[in-house]
């Protein structure tokens, strides 16, 4: 992109990852299972906690259909410690006590043999947050195949450094994964894809948590091509972006960026470009590392919501463009964001009516929550005019911010 503010030289931070306990069952759980030999349904489930904080957590549930193609699906599991689903995407949920049922949304009911779908949700917990141990697809218990009896379980936790394996009737294999300190589990890629040209993904792209790289110079220099372009109303999810990452993701209109992880931010992680004030952008889950300038650049109009996200070693998490060719009013909402070694969460232009709202923010290190600028015409440099909560443009209270 051509219009940028607050340029810095590129910096990097090597983050140490700690081995974590699988006994606590607060990280991720993979349950591979199947039906009896006579059943036409089989499935494998990967349950992974993507972020956890006091009293709340986010999780993804990936179910892979191993049986005949389905024209509609319902996934069921039970919580054992009083957890409650508070918000879910990728399906329609109901809950009675600990029993949760998720049926397909209108757009993802067809599930071919070997295909996967990943509903994600936010939930609440008290005391402990053990992962479910059994799942059903269309009423049939998942066992990893249509005839097998082996169950494979992978769990992760962010609370300890020990590993435990336990057998419960069928064969169970338990392994550990690593996490960044204080945040949800940072995923490892399932594969690697080099692409040297921008990929226009249209209205939907599921990257399967593969690592994508190959555009640009690996730095935050100007005018690099994006890795992905998402059409108005589109969704991109389950992607890991590695260096060189170009200009990340461009959203041409309203969009959803879900469970996307930037191992090394290029020019920007994502740029939001819609011209309509009704545009809505959502960044749900995921995280970003090593952005000496900024992570998210808001050039267009509308409102960006950043939820259940973690950022490490960044200049700014968000910047509303202060010298773009069109001076839109822009808004950002940050919910359950954890920031490590990040200088500023949001920079906005008060003379254009921008706002930034914050809740459930956790900070490690010295971070300015909200900076205010005076936006200027293209070709000039915006001037910083203040910082901190004011109830009008930078909207938060002390209880919304927790220092780690």
* pLDDT value, residue 255: 96
Contact residues for 61 (Cβ-Cβ < 8 A; gap 6+)? 45, 46, 47, 48, 75, 77, 102, 118, 119, 120, 121, 135
pLDDT score of 254 more than 60: yes
pLDDT of residue 310: 95
pLDDT in tens, 92-121: 999 999 999 999 987 788 998 888 899 999
**What pLDDT does 220 receive?**
65
349 pLDDT more than 50: yes
- Span 15-21, average pLDDT: 31
Supply angle C-alpha 69, 75, 79, rounded to 5: 160
Which of 54-68, 169-183, 352-366, 382-396 shows the lowest per-residue confidence on average (mean pLDDT)? 169-183
Tens-place pLDDT, residues 180-234: 333 566 888 989 999 999 999 999 999 988 999 999 887 666 779 999 999 999 9
**In this model, does residue 393 exceed pLDDT 90?**
yes
Check residue 41 and give its pLDDT: 67
Give 50's pLDDT tier (boundaries 50, 70, 90): confident
pLDDT of 40: 60
Element counts in the chain: helices (H) and strands (E): 0, 30
CA distances for 218 relative to 213, 247, 293, angstroms: 10, 10, 13
Q: What are phi and psi of 228, to 5 degrees?
A: -135, 145
Q: Please, are residues 199 and 232 in contact by the beta-carbon 8 Å criterion?
A: no
For the chain, list the domains and their CATH numbers: 18-179 (2.60.40.290), 192-403 (2.160.20.10)
pTM, to two decimals: 0.60
- pLDDT (mean) for 123-147: 88
Counting residues of the chain whose pLDDT is more than 70, the rounded percentage is 79
């Amino acid at each position: 992109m051509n219009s940028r503010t607050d340029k810095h030289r590129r910096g990097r931070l090597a983050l140490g990852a700690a081995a974590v306990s699988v006994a606590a069952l607060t990280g991720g759980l993979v349950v591979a299972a199947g039906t009896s030999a006579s059943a036409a349904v089989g499935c494998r489930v990967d349950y992974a906690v993507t972020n956890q904080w006091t009293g709340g957590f986010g999780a993804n549930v990936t179910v892979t259909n191993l049986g005949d193609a389905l024209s509609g699906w319902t996934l069921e599991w039970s919580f054992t410690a009083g957890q409650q689903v508070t918000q879910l995407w990728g399906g329609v949920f109901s809950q009675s006590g600990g029993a949760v049922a998720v049926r397909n949304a209108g757009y993802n009911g067809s599930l071919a043999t070997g295909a996967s779908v990943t509903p994600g949700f936010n939930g609440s917990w008290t005391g402990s947050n053990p992962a479910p141990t059994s799942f059903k697809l269309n009423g049939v218990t998942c066992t990893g195949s249509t005839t097998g009896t082996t169950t494979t379980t992978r769990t992760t936790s962010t609370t300890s450094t020990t590993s435990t394996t336990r057998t419960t009737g069928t064969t169970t294999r338990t392994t550990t994964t690593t996490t960044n300190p204080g945040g949800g589990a940072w995923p490892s890629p399932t594969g690697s894809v080099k692409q040297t040209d921008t990929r226009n993904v249209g209205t939907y792209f599921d990257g399967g948590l593969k690592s994508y790289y190959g555009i640009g110079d690996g730095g935050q220099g100007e005018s690099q091509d994006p890795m992905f372009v998402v059409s108005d109303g589109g969704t991109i999810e389950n992607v890991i972006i590695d260096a060189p990452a170009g200009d990340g993701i461009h959203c041409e209109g309203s969009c959803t960026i879900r469970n996307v992880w930037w191992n090394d931010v290029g020019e920007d992680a994502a740029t939001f470009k819609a011209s309509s004030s009704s545009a809505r952008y959502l960044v749900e889950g995921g995280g970003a590392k090593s952005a000496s300038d900024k992570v998210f650049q808001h050039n267009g109009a509308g409102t960006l919501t950043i939820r259940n996200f973690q950022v490490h070693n960044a200049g700014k998490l968000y910047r509303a463009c202060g010298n773009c060719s069109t001076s839109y009013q822009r808004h950002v909402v940050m919910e359950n964001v954890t920031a490590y070694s990040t200088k500023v969460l949001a920079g906005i232009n008060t003379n254009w009516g921008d706002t930034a709202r914050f809740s459930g923010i956790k900070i490690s290190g010295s971070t300015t929550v909200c900076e205010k600028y005076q936006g200027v015409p293209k070709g000039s440099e915006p001037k910083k005019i203040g910082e901190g909560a004011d109830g009008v443009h930078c909207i938060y209270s002390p209880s919304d911010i927790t220092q780690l």
